[in-house]
Every structure is written in structure tokens, then in C-alpha cells.
Amino acid sequence: MSQGISKQQIKQRINNIIAWVDTETQGQRGYDEILADVQAKLGKLDRSIVSLCALPKSKEAFSGPHHDLMRRIVKSAEWRFDVTFTQIVSKRRHRPTVKARMAAVCVQRAILPLSWKEIARWWGITSHTSVMDIETRAQVKRSEDLKFNDIVETMMREASELYSLCEPKEATV
């Protein structure tokens, strides 16, 4: 910051690096590994600056049985709402980002057999009530905005099809 770089520029650089690392590893690496890559790429960096980025804070956010499907749901919201994956998982409050996040959470909750706490952990949110609030707001938005509802319904159909393909089948004898 003493070099004349603004906080926003640092956030953007970190987000670009995280998006690059995440793309290169297809989301298969943990938070600590990605943090180490970010620190190596930017040089000496303290955790408070890294916390400005849009990276979920929990190690569990990058693992779990439904991780890939959760990422695909967010990717679906990404192109439908014309925002980036990094923006959706960030704490940004811009209208398109919030709408995409609401849609993704709503679909994740409806399709996947996960608890509020597990979904919150994936998003890097400490309190499950925050995710409950996002989902409640999404339901209100769906009742008020038919276009938003159509997008969510389409995302749900696609995610449901993917889930049925990915769901572990019980062996029949």
C-alpha cells in the first residue's frame, strides 16, 4: 500500500491470482495451499490483506462429496447473471452479484442433501443463519421477479439432472 497501490487494486490482483490458481487446480486444492501460492506470487503478504480476497475461509470449502456439483451450480449462475465465479463467492454486494449468489444458494439448498451449516461452510460463511437469510431472500425474489424465477427453475432442472447422474447408486444384487 505504501507503493501507491490502492486497496481495490490489491483485491483485484488477489482475486485474479486466486481465479488463476483455482482454474489451474480445478478446485482440488485446499485453502492453505492456495494461500501459499498467492503469497509466493505476490511476495510477502500478511493474512489481513489476503482476507480481502474472495476466497472462502474454511478448508472444508474445497472438499466434500458435493463440491463439484456446488461449483457447477455457481458456474451456471456465473454465465446466467454475467458475473465471475470469484465475484459470486466474494462478499461483494453489487446487485448482479447478489442475485447470482441468491440463485446459487437456492439451487444448492433445493437439490443437494446438505444442511445449512454445510452450505455455509462451502461458501466460507461462519454462520448458517446467513445462508438461511440468502435463501429466504431468494424465495421472495422468485415470487416477485418472474425472470429470476425462470433462471432459478432452469438452474434447478440442470442441477437435478447432474445430481441424478453423479449420485452414488446403491448396488443391486
Q: Could you tell me the CATH number of the domain that includes residue 106? A: 1.10.1750.10
- Host domain of residue 26: 7-55
CB neighbour list of residue 49: distance below 8 Å, 6 or more residues apart: 10, 14
Count the neighbouring beta carbons within 10 Å of the beta carbon of residue 94: 11
If you write DSSP's letter for every residue of 94-132 in order, what string do you get? -HHHHHHHHHHHHHHHHHS---HHHHHHHHT-S-HHHHH
Q: Is residue 89 located within the same domain as residue 121?
A: yes
Instruction: Please report whether residue 1 resides in a domain.
Output: no
pTM, to two decimals: 0.61
Q: Is residue 43 located within the same domain as residue 70?
A: no
What pLDDT, in 10s, does the model give residues 72-89? 899 889 989 989 888 898
Residue 137: the pLDDT is 95
Instruction: Please report whether residue 171 resides in a domain.
Output: no
Q: Is residue 44 located within the same domain as residue 110?
A: no
Position 62 confidence tier, pLDDT thresholds 50, 70, 90: very low
Q: Is residue 80 located within the same domain as residue 161?
A: yes
Taking a C-beta distance cutoff of 8 angstroms, is the pair 41, 33 a contact? Answer: no
Instruction: Give CA 55 to chain center in angstroms.
Output: 9
